[in-house]
Copies of this chain bind each other. A is one copy, B any other.
Amino acid sequence: MKRRIEQLSALGQEERLAIFRLLVRAGPQGNCVDQIKRRLKTPGSTLSHHLDTLTRSGLLSARRAGRFIHYAVNWREAANLIRFLTEDCCAEMHARFSPDPQTGAGVGNPCCSQAAKRPRRTRRAAAASEKAEARTSSENGNRRP
C-alpha cells in the first residue's frame, strides 16, 4: 500500500513520467543513463535523483554493464500497480459504468473491454447502486459547486 503510493507519486511528475515512458518503449534491456540524458536533455544529477526515486519505488530496476548502468522497467511492479488501480476502480466501473452491457462498448478502456462484455455486476453492487442512483445520477459536471 505504501509502495503503491510511492509508485503513483513517482509517476506523478513530468520528468519521471517521461523517463518511465521512455523505458517502457526501450523494452527489457532498458537504457543507460547517458542515453536517457541525451534523449531527455536532463542534467546528470537531476536525472540520477529521478532514477533513484523510480527505482526505490520498485518501478525500475538497474543493472550494471561495465561503465554503464542500464535502467529498465520492472514489469512485475508496473503490472501490480495497474492491478491495484484496477481492483479499486475497474470492478466498480464494470458494475456501474458499463454504458451498454449488451455489447460492452462505450467505456473504451482496453483494460476493461474484454471483461465488460459479460457484465459482472454482483447482487450486492446492483442493490447498492440501485438505491443510490435512484435519487440523483450526476456522473458529470466537474467543478466544485
Binding site for B on A (CB under 8 A): 2, 4-14, 17, 20-21, 24-25, 27-29, 52, 55, 58, 61-65, 69, 72-76, 78-83, 85-90, 92-93, 96-97, 107-112, 114-115, 125, 128-129, 132-133, 135-145
Contacts A63-B145, A129-B28; A9 near B5 (Cβ below 8 A) = no
A58 and B85 CA atoms in complex are apart in Å by 16
Q: Which of B55, B82, B97, B108 contacts A109 (CB 8 A)?
A: B82
Copies in the complex: 2
Task: Add 5 more A-B contacts to A24-B89, A74-B142, A75-B97 (CB < 8 A).
Answer: A9-B9, A61-B141, A62-B144, A82-B85, A87-B110
Which label, helix, strand, loop or mixed, suits the secondary structure of the A interface? helix
A87 closest partner in B (C-beta): B110
Given A75-B97, A75-B139, A132-B28: A108 touches B89 (CB 8 Å cut-off): no
Query: Which residues of the other chain, B, contact A85 by a CB distance below 8 angstroms?
Result: 78, 81-82, 85
By a CB distance below 8 angstroms, the chain B residues around A141 are 61, 63
User: Can you list 29 residue pairs at the A/B interface with Cβ under 8 Å?
Assistant: A5-B17, A6-B12, A12-B12, A25-B92, A28-B96, A28-B129, A28-B132, A28-B133, A28-B137, A29-B132, A29-B136, A61-B138, A61-B140, A61-B142, A63-B145, A69-B144, A72-B138, A74-B140, A75-B89, A75-B96, A76-B139, A78-B85, A79-B90, A79-B107, A81-B85, A82-B85, A82-B89, A83-B108, A111-B111
